[in-house]
Structures are given as C-alpha cells and as structure tokens.
Amino acid sequence: MSRAFIGMGSNMEDRLEHLKAGIGALAAAAPDVIIVSKSSVYGSAPVGMTDQPDFLNAVVAVETTFDPYELLSLLHEIESERGRKRIAHWGPRTLDLDILMFGDLEQDDPRLTLPHPRLTERCFALAPLLEIDPAAALPDGTPLQSAREKLGDAQGVWRVGDLMTPAADRTETIAVIGAGKVGTAIARALSTKGYRVVAVADLKKDARERAASLAGSRPFESCVEAAARADVVIITTPDGAIEGVCGDISGSNASLVGKKFIHMSGALPLAALETAASRGADTLSIHPIATFADLMSAERFLPGSAFGVTCDLALLPWARDFVSAMGGRTLVVADGDKVLYHSAAVVACNLLAMVSYGAYVIARRLGFRDEETSQAFGPLAAATVENVSALGPASALTGPLARGDIGTIRAHIDVLEKFDPGLAEMYRAVSLWGLRLTEECGELDMGVIEQMKEILNRGQATSTAQR
C-alpha cells in the first residue's frame, strides 16, 4: 500500500459538516483506502479570489491500494457528492479534496502534479499536515517544516478545533441587544447556524418580538435581563447608545469574567465597552461591512460580507470562527484606525447612494419616473461597481473625465449650474477628486488634465463668490 496525504477545504454552507462527510466517504472506501490519521481543523482566509468566506481546512493521511489517478477519481466523486461545482478558479467550494503527496512520487502531469505544486506556499495545507507528521519531507528530502517557517504568520492560519467536534463553541448562549435591522439579521443568522440565541432586547415591543420570533428566542424590554441570560452579549444599538447600554448591563454585575461583549459599530473603539472590560469581560468589535436597507437585504448580503474585527490577539481565532459561522470574512482593524476604516465604508456605500440620487433628480427634470430611471441607470451603476471590484477604480473609470473631453465637462457644469447649483457643486467636487484617478491611469497628457482642473476649479470659485 502507498501512503498519501489528502488536503481538505470548505467555505460554503456547513463547512465542518462537509469536512466530516469527506472523512466518512474516504473511510467507506476501505479496504482500498485506510485512514491512518487526521489533523485538527484550521481556519484560513481565501487565496486568489478574496471576496468569499473564510475556509476550514484539514489534512488526512491514508494508506491506499489505489494508484494516484484512481485516488484522484475517488476524490472527485466525493466532491461531486457534496455539491462541488468547478465554476471559478480559486472560487468558493463545498468541499475541495487534493492529493498533497503520494509516497515519494514526483510527476509533472497536467492532470495530476505530485507533490501538489503549491504545497510549500500554503500554510493552510502545511500546518495540518505537519501536525500529523512533523517530520514530513518532500521526495527530494526537503523538510516541509522549513517551508512552513519561511512563510511565517503572514497567511493568518489559525487552529479552530478537533475535526470531530464543532468548529465553534456553539454551546455559548447569546443575547442580542437592539432589534433593528442589523440586530435582527445577526440574531437570525446565528440561530440558523446552530448558536443558542437566548434573548433579544429592545425598547420597542414589536421589534423585539419579531426578532425573537425569527431567531427562536425570548424577547426582553430590559437589556440587563437579556444580558444576564447569555455568555455572549452583542450590542447592535445605534452608536450613541452603545456605551450607555454597556454601562447599564455592567453596573448590575460585580464580575463579568468569562463573558464576551461585542459591539457592531464600525466607528467606535473598544473603549465603548470599557465598563464591561473593567469587570473582566472579553471585549470585541465585529462590524459587518454590509448594507442593511431592510431585513430582506440584510439577510441577503450578510453571508459573504467582510466583517471588520477589532479585539485582543488572543480572541482573534474565536472572532474569525464566529464571523465564518455567518458566512463572512474577517478583516482585522486596529483599534486606533476604526474611524478611518469606517469612513471608507461610508464612502463606498452611503456616499455612493447620495451621488446616485443626483441622477434621479436630473431624470425627474427630464420627465422620467423613478422606476424608469432605475431600469435605465441601475444596470450602469451595478456594472461600474462590479468593474471597480474586479479591475480596480483606475481601470473602471470611463466617461469624459477619463477621455479628457473638456467640452463635455464644461457643458455639464454650465447646464447643472442653471438646473441645480448644489448638484453642479457636487459634480465639480467629485470630478476634481477623480482627476487623481485620471493621473494614475497615465493615459492623458498632463496639459489636458490641468485644463480640466482649471475648468472645475473655476466653476467652484464662481459658486463660492455667488454665495
């Protein structure tokens, strides 16, 4: 029989369940495949296509009578049984199974390269493999531990737990304080992932009862009563209320040792939870980088979103798995950078909506109904956002500013000044800022850029003088 190491990964649906099912399917292939050992579960951020949830990974060592291609065929069958669809390279997957090494075999075959061509570049494969075989080496004798040490901690791989136990401690009870759109979506998301949401608190009766019903929880008017029932207290109130709510809860407890307090504000530092920290609680900020226009959109966009996480380094593995349970990705944010980080989210989301409103104002003047405007300009806006995400802002920039179409820019300002001076001012301000992108592209002569800058600044000066 031959010894082989098989890498496993999942970042869709119930990730741990997919890993367990993969183990079960391999075990069912006995006597042709015998599982010798299996690693712990390790979490990792996605590689290549980063706009997707974090992965859970593991490695199993097997003894097999199969040759490498027979083993590969078995792995592909197991992947298909778990719903694996090979749509995008490095894209999300229910279950990914790779032969990392097969005995001392070395081969360069388009169908199967051994050892795996990126084994020495991936901590999420090396860490679990070295856990079950610390002396593992490549066929040429190079210790894999050397490759692991060269990579260091830059790839951010973390141990989650044993393969046969839940990846997160789902026995922790949770209270959500604030039953608005964010709190309701979070409570429901955690409940569907197996967390025990035992309490939802809000001063508004209808809001707390609806959120509690969706999460299979109990509604409370008192945040103190709700928090008393939970190991993890998540505060999703407006920013201005977070510190006071935390103070009310903390003031009724001499000790909060063993509890976790989380606020979901993008801008507030951990100091907003200081009263809980002073009584021994662990404190974290976990901010969903998602838009919550209504509950339906919140539930739609929450999975797959990034979450800005601020916490003590020792709490980061817990926070990562907590985020992953909601289908999210972790973005670590330093406490002192919270306001700047949140301003980026506001520019990307809220200001985008405000600028888009200008198109609706103009379209109404032209006699278009808002529904017609949405149908006409909505796809344009969506394509632009998609291009920014895929290509970057500089490559996504089109239109008169990118072309250096000075006459069109001047005509826009002239007509907007007559129609709505405020809209003209926004056009100038955003365009002046956008000239940085034009310069970055490097496709226009600097003389043309300076002419556009002069036109935009001249209009701004005129507007200021008129005021």
DSSP calls for 293-328: SSHHHHHHHSTT-EEEEEE-GGGHHHHHHHHHHTT-
pLDDT in tens, 167-185: 445 678 999 999 999 999 9
Residue 206 annotated as catalytic = no
Find the mean pLDDT for residues 250-259: 90
Is residue 197 a contact partner of residue 217, using CB atoms and an 8 Å limit?
Answer: yes
Which tokens sit at 447?
């003389």
Q: What CATH number is given for 173-346 in this structure?
A: 3.40.50.720
Q: At what angle do helices 181-192 and 205-215 cross, to 10 degrees?
A: 20
Q: Choose, from 54, 98, 202, 321, the residue flagged as catalytic.
A: 98
Find the mean pLDDT for residues 365-374: 96
Q: Choose, from 54, 96, 202, 282, the residue flagged as catalytic.
A: 96
Q: Choose, from 84, 122, 188, 329, the residue flagged as catalytic.
A: 84
For the chain, which residues make up each domain, given as ranges?
2-161, 173-346, 348-466
Question: How confident is residue 126, by pLDDT bands cut at 50, 70 and 90?
Answer: very high
The reported pLDDT for the residue numbered 441 is 81
Across the chain, mean pLDDT equals 89
Q: Choose, from 93, 188, 208, 428, the residue flagged as catalytic.
A: 93
Residue 93 annotated as catalytic = yes
Bridge partner list, 285: 263, 310
What is the CB neighbour count within 10 angstroms for residue 273?
28
pTM summary value: 0.63
Q: Is the pLDDT of residue 460 over 60?
A: no
Same topology for domains 2-161 and 173-346, yes or no? no
Residue 84 annotated as catalytic = yes
The reported pLDDT for the residue numbered 278 is 96
CATH class of 2-161: alpha beta
The reported pLDDT for the residue numbered 163 is 59
Percentage of residues in the chain having pLDDT higher than 70: 93
pLDDT in tens, 67-121: 999 999 999 999 999 888 766 666 688 999 999 999 999 999 999 999 999 999 9
pLDDT in tens, 5-43: 999 999 988 888 899 889 989 988 888 998 888 898 998
Percentage of residues in the chain having pLDDT higher than 90: 65
**Going by C-beta distance under 8 Å and a sequence separation of 6 or more, which residues neighbour residue 393?**
437
pLDDT in tens, 266-278: 999 999 999 999 9
Place of tokens 């109130």: 237
Name the H helices within 221-313.
Answer: 223-228, 239-251, 274-277, 295-301
Find the mean pLDDT for residues 358-386: 94
